[in-house]
Structure 1
Amino acid sequence: MTPKLSVAIITLNEEANLARTLASVQFADEIIVVDSGSTDRTLEIAASYKAKLFLEPWQGFARQKNFAIERCTGTWILSLDADEALTPELQAEIGAVLSGDPTADAYLLRRRNLFLGRWIRHGGFYPDPHLRLFRRHSANFAPPARFTNRPVHETIALDGVTETLKHDLVHHAYPTIESYIESLNRYSTLGAQTIIDKGHTSSSRLALLHNVLVRPILTFLRNYLLRLGFLDGREGLLLHLYHSTYTSWQHAKAWQTTRNR
């Protein structure tokens, strides 16, 4: 019998997160874990939760997730990051939707982001919807469903009907400031390549000044003041302060890469 729901997860040294994630999807019919070379207990943890393990060298976020999708056999696919977990309410909601007659081709999940252990409710960080639950084959997908091939912030291309579920996916993203800065550094490098691909590099001194100084300041003011990020306390201050530097870093890295051209 074809599994109803497959869960697809990609991993690399996720022993701190993976058990929590896998425990939250035990109601699924199939769990696929694609690992790109973990040296910690990630594979041991995945095996203990009866996940189907595949080893694949790192290809980039979109390609790695597509590799995981291709190994799923379920009618529906739930794509998760290894630091995300479903609340009990969301588990029940997904079960109820799939056991009935789903009215959509895909579902957005409301994501609850945690920073230094605090739920960030303002500044544009909640409900932070992400398309994670979708039919493997649909008249509106090029079968099977795939993530768009881009360096960062990969998404599922969708022309069909989309709805949003009511309950939360919890993102245990950044337990320390060090992990957040490391993530910003990594993603700003990928974001710089997107800027280069679009031809939006800072071609003049004035453009560079705007992108590495003015734009980050405006980003901070918008999220921290206008979008009420200050209501999330000291954690909110640090989050939005460092998040605004992401914009600066990616434009500076794009300029650095192209300055000799």
Structure 2
Amino acid sequence: MPISATIITLNEGDNIADCLAALDFVDEIIVLDSGSSDQTEELCRACPKVRFYHQEWLGYGRQKNRAAELARHDLILNVDADERVSPQLRRSIEQFDSSSFAAARMARENYFGRRWIRHCGWYPDYSSRLYDRRRCSFSERAVHESLQTAGAVATLAGNLVHYTYNGVGDYLERMNRYSTLAAEEYHRAGKTAGLLRMLVKPVATFIKMYLLRRGFLDGRTGLVLSLLYAVYTFCKYAKLSELNAEEHRK
């Protein structure tokens, strides 16, 4: 069955060329861009398999669904620009039986800087990315979207290599944006964030990642990552508390 790969982009000039090179086995690549000001479009249009489109930002889930709608084929492989399909995963994708499964999940090999994080809950970090768009679609959450499937899900051999963060600075920059989106989503859902929750949730996040998920086995990087996730959790609930307070003042 022919495969359409989909990628949503915004200023991915440093990543997109290697991502596209690892997708040379698919039949077409849909790139849906939300306003890049770097060389993303130029690099994409240089690839013969790419069909490049512009779309104002809709949120992660809706943006990915829109990219799938633009594809010529029903079997969709969704990847991010900072991800690479490994040779073993490529072979598994090419052998996928779309008549028996609605989707397939794959392990993600996540990197923080130059280190592959094998613990902290970061591996195998299964994610469903190969799917039949007639039976599956992404949840329309603003952040942390997931594939909603109507049918059996296979597990593929091979890793989807993910260069998650370049380092602490990159994490902190994106954390501010992600924590805002998460807080806004919680606010719309009517969730609250009292002092106890702001205190307990970050500590619980650290304990889960560093101790229960054995982040200590990843050495110094495991400690740094667990602490950063605790900070993210605190910021998310602190921003939610601000939103709730602003609403009460109105």
TM-score, normalisation: structure 1: 0.90
For structure 2, list consecutive stretches of 5 or more residues without a partner in the other structure: none
* Counterpart residue number, 1:205: none
Aligned residues: 246
CA RMSD of aligned residues (A): 1.4
Partner SS for 2:149: coil
User: 1:224 pairs with 210, 213, 228, which one?
Assistant: 210
Q: Is 1:34–2:32 an aligned residue pair?
A: yes
Partner amino acid for 1:255? S
> How does 1:70-149 map onto structure 2 within 5 Å?
70-97=69-96, 102-137=99-134, 141=135, 145-149=136-140
- Aligned residues: percent identity? 42
Q: Is the 8 A contact 1:215 1:247 kept in 2?
A: yes
> Match of 1:180?
171
Aligned partner of 2:10 in structure 1 is: 12
Q: Which structure 1 residue ranges, 5 or more long, are not aligned?
A: 203-207
After the TM superposition, which of the residue ranges 18-27 and 209-218 deviates more from structure 2?
A: 209-218
Show the counterpart of 1:168: 159
Partner SS for 1:107: strand
Q: Is this contact kept in 1: 2:120–2:209, CA < 8 A?
A: yes
1:192 equivalent in structure 2: 183
Partner of residue 47, structure 2: 49
Q: Distance in 2 between matches of 1:190 and 1:21?
A: 26
Shift of 1:103: 2.5
For the 8 Å contact 2:113–2:163, the answer to whether it is kept is: no
Q: Distance in 1 between matches of 2:38 and 2:99?
A: 39
Question: Does the CA-based 8 Å contact 1:58-1:64 persist in structure 2?
Answer: yes
1:102, distance to aligned residue in structure 2 (A): 4.7
TM-score scaled to structure 2, two decimals? 0.94
- SS of the aligned residue for 1:6 comes to strand
Q: Which amino acid aligns with 1:238?
A: V
- Quick one: distance in 2 between partners of 1:131 and 1:20? 21
1 CA distance for matches of 2:76 and 2:185?
27
1:240: which partner in 2?
226
1:60 CA drift (Å): 1.4
Do structure 1's residue 22 and structure 2's residue 48 form an aligned pair? no
For 2:229, what is the secondary structure of its paired residue? helix
Asked whether the equivalents of residues 137 and 149 of structure 2 are also in contact (C-alpha less than 8 Å), the reply is no
Counterpart residue type for residue 236 of structure 2: Q
